């Protein structure tokens, strides 16, 4: 797989943003898999994340497919630049959501997810990156 996942992410992100020269992708490999860290111009963050995070979710899904094809688990971390104007989101009680996260407990209102199955990559087996 070498760095196909990194090249793929670089191509996709540079196609989306207004400042492609400011885009950096760092790749680290450990026992958990591959972590791609994306750093970009602060003005381009909205284009990468998208409305309600849909663009970022789609990029992560595509990276999972590229990783599955090469028997690797690929994760994406989008680095928040210094001086970001984003403020932490508040929940209904007005507290900072980052402090309120429950570690390993799941929300009983949400249905439990089935264990992850191996992804079907037959549609992209002949894909050349």
Mean local confidence (pLDDT), 70-96: 70
pLDDT at 93 over 50: no
What does the pLDDT read at residue 116? 66
What does the pLDDT read at residue 97? 45
What does the pLDDT read at residue 78? 93
Tell me the C-alpha distance between 17 and 15, whole Å: 6
What does the pLDDT read at residue 17? 92
DSSP 106: P
Q: How far is CA 86 from each of CA 41, 58, 128, rounded to the nearest angstrom?
A: 14, 22, 37
Residue 105 binned pLDDT confidence (cut-offs 50, 70, 90): very low
Burial string for 2-30 (b: 16+ CB within 10 Å, else e) reads eebbbebbbebbbebbeeeeebebeeeee
**pLDDT one-digit tens code per residue, 2-18:** 588 899 999 999 999 99
Average pLDDT for the chain = 78
**pLDDT one-digit tens code per residue, 19-49:** 999 999 999 998 889 999 999 999 989 999 9
Task: Give CA 120 to chain center in angstroms.
Answer: 20
Mean local confidence (pLDDT), 113-129: 70
What does the pLDDT read at residue 102? 44
What does the pLDDT read at residue 111? 57
């Amino acid at each position: 797989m070498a760095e196909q996942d990194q090249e793929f992410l670089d191509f996709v992100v540079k196609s989306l943003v207004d400042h492609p020269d400011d885009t950096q992708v760092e790749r680290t490999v450990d026992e958990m898999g591959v972590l791609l860290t994306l750093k970009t111009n602060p003005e381009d963050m909205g284009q990468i994340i998208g409305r309600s995070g849909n663009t970022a979710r789609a990029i992560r899904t595509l990276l999972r497919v590229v990783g599955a094809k090469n028997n690797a688990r690929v994760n994406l971390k989008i680095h928040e630049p210094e001086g970001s104007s984003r403020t932490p989101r508040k929940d209904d009680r007005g507290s900072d959501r980052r402090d309120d996260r429950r570690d390993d407990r799941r929300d009983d209102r949400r249905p439990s997810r089935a264990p992850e199955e191996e992804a079907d990559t037959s549609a992209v087996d002949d894909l050349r990156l």
